[in-house]
């Protein structure tokens, strides 16, 4: 099995674990599981350019999982990192900007 396939499997397993814990676990376990999803997705994102479908999906997944984990600082750091990528297509940039605005609005409450 290739390293990339193994990494993709890690992402899938982390997502399944987090989703399972959403139904059965406590909030701390759920947050930790989504943080693991975010880390796996971030690592997977390094394997693809931002303008590749897998690259876009993994970047969005890293940010969304950080938000679900309640780690808005991590989510904002990832957004800023991904927005700085010159290869980021317009649809990814718009989605990241939307997520950043959502986080900012939540923090103002």
What's the burial of 88, exposed, middle or buried (CB within 10 Å: 0-12/13-18/19+)?
buried
For residue range 17-36, list pLDDT tens digits in order.
999 999 998 899 999 999 99
Tell me the pTM.
0.93
Which pLDDT does position 72 carry in this prediction? 96
Domains and CATH numbers, the chain: 3-108 (1.25.40)
Read off the pLDDT of each residue in 69-88 and give the average, rounded to a whole number.
96
Which pLDDT does position 106 carry in this prediction? 81
For residue range 2-12, list pLDDT tens digits in order.
988 998 999 99
Cβ atoms of 79 and 65 within 8 Å: the answer is no
pLDDT > 70: percent of the chain:
98
């Amino acid at each position: 099995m290739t390293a990339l396939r193994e990494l993709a499997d890690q992402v899938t397993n982390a997502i399944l674990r987090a989703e399972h814990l959403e139904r059965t676990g406590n909030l701390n376990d759920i947050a930790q599981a989504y943080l693991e999803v975010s880390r796996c997705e971030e690592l997977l994102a390094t394997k693809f350019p931002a303008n590749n479908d897998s690259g876009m999906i993994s970047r969005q997944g890293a940010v969304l999982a950080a938000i679900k984990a309640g780690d808005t600082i991590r989510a904002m750091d990832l957004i800023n990192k991904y927005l700085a990528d010159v290869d980021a297509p317009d649809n990814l940039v718009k989605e990241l900007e939307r997520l950043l605005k959502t986080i900012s609005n939540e923090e103002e409450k």
